[in-house]
Amino acid sequence: MSSLLFELYSEEIPALMQERALSNLLNAFKQVCNKYNITFKEEEGAVGPCRMSLYFNGLEVELVETKLRGPSLDSGPEILNRFYSKHHVKANDLTIEEERGKKYYYLSKKNDSSLEDILLSEIPKILSSFSWPKSMRWGDYQISWIRPLKNILCLLDGKVLPVKYGHLTANNLTFGHKFFAPESLKITSWDDYQVQLLKKHVIISNRKDLIKRQLTEICQKNELVLNEDEKLIEEISGLTEYATMLLGEIAPEFMSLPSELLTLCLRVHQRYFTCQNLDGSLANKFIFASNLPIKDFTEVIEGNKRVLAARLSDALYFYNRDLKEDLESKFTDLSNVVFHLKLGNMQEKVLRIEKISKFLRPLDKDLHLAARLCKCDLLTEAVKEFPELQGVMSKYYAPNTQVGEIIAAHYSPKGANDKIPELQASILSIADKIDTLVGLLIAGEKVTSSKDPYGIRRNAISILRIILEHNLEVNLKELIQFTLDLYDNVEFNKFEALDSIQNFILDKFDSLLEQKHSSQIVRLVIKNDLSNVISLRNQVAELEAIYQTEDFASIVAAYKRLYNITDKKAESGKIDAQIFETEYERELYMGLLNVKLSTMQASIDELLKLVPQINNLLDNVLINDQDKRLAQNRINLVMQTQSLFDKVLHFKSLI
């Protein structure tokens, strides 16, 4: 059994691309193992700013014999010769076997390639086909990588395996910390690799665990509670090879900044961790990472405090400047902000949002004011500098707290895992999202299975989630129609638009319900109507309890019998009870007259009463009678019975 150590050393790999790249590289190697029946007992991988490393131990090529069926015995010489040439064999290398009465040539093959030959052949293929979000070329070299690739280390059982990729040939070398120990190191094994790099200030694995441990120790020592941030931990791990976490202090004059603005400056622009005091308030401390292998960090901490102070000074300037003007003063200038080239400017959008909010909640004055001001903070200095804070800053700029809270929350939910905001913010969120969804769809923007650049699909799902979780009695069909009427400056067919937008939202509604319910049940309930999605959701839940019963199966069977008669028939005419000739016709007709549809369970019970009458009619009466008048009357009776079933559920979806 063998061991393989493989390292790709390059210029700095973007931090948030590293873990996925390592996973893809490991998977690519394991696919080669599967292809060539290579087994292994142990695998490890490591990734950092300048390197990706793999280690496989216990590698062994299993000898497996496979049979390949060739041409039939009666094949012509040209076909046989092509087979011989392709597999480098002669006629006497083949056996003859019979399969389903026909004789074929068979070639027995063994995977007799050595592990060394396989790796020499396959590793360059892995590297040349490796996918990065964006690759680059450098110099006159013919290879590409995320950043210039400088060295390949490849050891098989401690000896150099001379893999070639472009101008590079693998060796037994790696390199220490880029700035403090950049000299080359000769490596003999995986353990030697880790030990030597650690001596040269490179922690090759478990950096994330080390960072977490240091964060915990700092917080415990200083009675702080860390604001957890897994993504930032991953990023710090990808930026440092020798991470030391340090504690700094925020100058008092900056603690007056809104906590969201302060946190964003530290997190996004400086990659600093923020903390809370034990009482839950934002602490005037920050934790950051140093990549320096030194003992005295006093100057490092002071330097980071100065850099942070400069960043926060800008933020404080923008914030104080914004406080001198109210949000309403920004409304006029929204006409200079483009919403969409075909749909006009942001001021026009806000006016539509305001009208939609009044349509949904005519008496809610705070909501109406929030709707009018909901995009004004886009023109504030703070949001121009920090776009991530749109909506949030309105909490500090709005004329009253309630309006500010509504605006701040109306962008939610932004994703499938986001919480639904409070009721007023949810109504504003619906107004904003339905305007965006309707506008973009009539503007011709497309949504595909893989692309949704404007978030149209996300808006539809968010609207439905808000309605369902708040149990809002919102007639979505009317809301879509109302919103379409507001786009009087855009040319489109309103009837076609209403139908296509309804279908688009219904498709997302199906998907939401199918997360908890059978797709068959959802299709039975959901028709081309969004008048009351709460009722539809409840009907699906009710039907779940009925669907597997024998009674429901008998209803479905009766419907199918009706459908087999009415399929491709014209519309139903009026039933003439005076010309009924049998008691079966009369009984079914009277049953139809007495049906009263209400809840799902009650309606199913009503249909169940009709099942024996339907079966009696179809078992005992010839529908297509020779007398055309009788035949048409019976067809009308059957069609109206089916139509009643269709009012309850979309039974055709089961056919």
3-state SS, one letter per residue, for 27-94 = HHHHHHHHHCCEECCEEEEEECCCEEEEEEEEEEECCCEEEEEEEECCCCHHHHHHHHHHHCCCHHHE
Q: Alpha-carbon distance 245 to 291, whole Å?
A: 9
pLDDT over 80 (residue 567): no
DSSP label of 171: B
**CATH code assigned to 549-654:** 1.10.730.10
pLDDT over 80 (residue 218): yes
Residues ≥6 apart with Cβ < 8 Å to 580: 586, 589, 633
Residues ≥6 apart with Cβ < 8 Å to 324: none
Q: What is the pLDDT of residues 65-81, one digit of tens each?
A: 677 788 887 788 888 78
What percent of the chain has pLDDT above 70? 99
pLDDT at 72: 85
Mean pLDDT calculated for residue range 588-600: 90
pLDDT at 318: 93
Widest pairwise Cα distance in the chain: 106
Beta bridge partners of 38: 61
pLDDT at 36: 86
Cα within 13 Å of Cα(280), Cβ side: 0
- Asked if residue 293 has a cis previous peptide bond (ω within 30° of 0), the answer is no
pLDDT over 80 (residue 177): yes
> Read out DSSP for 462-504?
HHHHHHHHHT----HHHHHHHHHHH-TTS---HHHHHHHHHHH
Q: Alpha-carbon distance 90 to 103, whole Å?
A: 18
- Asked if residue 413 has a cis previous peptide bond (ω within 30° of 0), the answer is yes
Q: Alpha-carbon distance 643 to 132, whole Å?
A: 56
pLDDT over 90 (residue 29): yes
Tokens 């690759």 sit on residue: 135
Beta strand 102-110 pairing with 65-72: antiparallel
DSSP label of 121: H
pLDDT at 183: 93
pLDDT at 111: 67
pLDDT at 655: 82
Question: Which among 60, 25, 24 has a CA at the least distance from the CA of 42?
Answer: 60
Residue 426's pLDDT band, with cuts at 50, 70 and 90, is very high
**Structure tokens, 559:** 């419907």
Mean pLDDT calculated for residue range 564-585: 84
Mean pLDDT calculated for residue range 454-479: 94
Tokens 């063998």 sit on residue: 2
Q: Alpha-carbon distance 470 to 427, whole Å?
A: 10
Q: Alpha-carbon distance 89 to 91, whole Å?
A: 7
Q: What is the pLDDT of residues 313-329, one digit of tens each?
A: 999 999 999 999 999 99
pLDDT at 200: 95
Q: Alpha-carbon distance 286 to 288, whole Å?
A: 7
Backbone angles phi, psi at 40, to 5 degrees: -150, 155
> Are 429 and 360 spatial neighbours (Cβ–Cβ below 8 Å)?
no
Q: What is the pLDDT of residues 472-503, one digit of tens each?
A: 999 999 999 999 999 988 888 989 999 999 99
Cα within 13 Å of Cα(49), Cβ side: 18
Mean pLDDT calculated for residue range 536-553: 90
pLDDT at 68: 77
> Are 236 and 211 spatial neighbours (Cβ–Cβ below 8 Å)?
yes
Q: What is the pLDDT of residues 241-286, one digit of tens each?
A: 999 999 999 999 999 999 999 999 999 889 999 999 999 999 999 9
Q: What is the pLDDT of residues 193-208, one digit of tens each?
A: 999 999 999 999 889 9
Beta bridge partners of 96: 105
Q: Alpha-carbon distance 269 to 229, whole Å?
A: 15
Residue 570's pLDDT band, with cuts at 50, 70 and 90, is low
Q: How far apart are the first and last CA of the chain?
A: 59
Range picked from 160-164, 411-415, 542-546 for highest mean pLDDT: 160-164
Q: Alpha-carbon distance 65 to 112, whole Å?
A: 9
Mean pLDDT calculated for residue range 280-305: 94
Coil, strand, or helix at residue 335?
Answer: helix
**Structure tokens, 509:** 């509604």
pLDDT over 80 (residue 572): no
Question: Which among 535, 443, 441, 438 has a CA at the least distance from the CA of 481?
Answer: 438
Tokens 């909490």 sit on residue: 395
pLDDT over 90 (residue 222): yes
Mean pLDDT calculated for residue range 28-53: 93
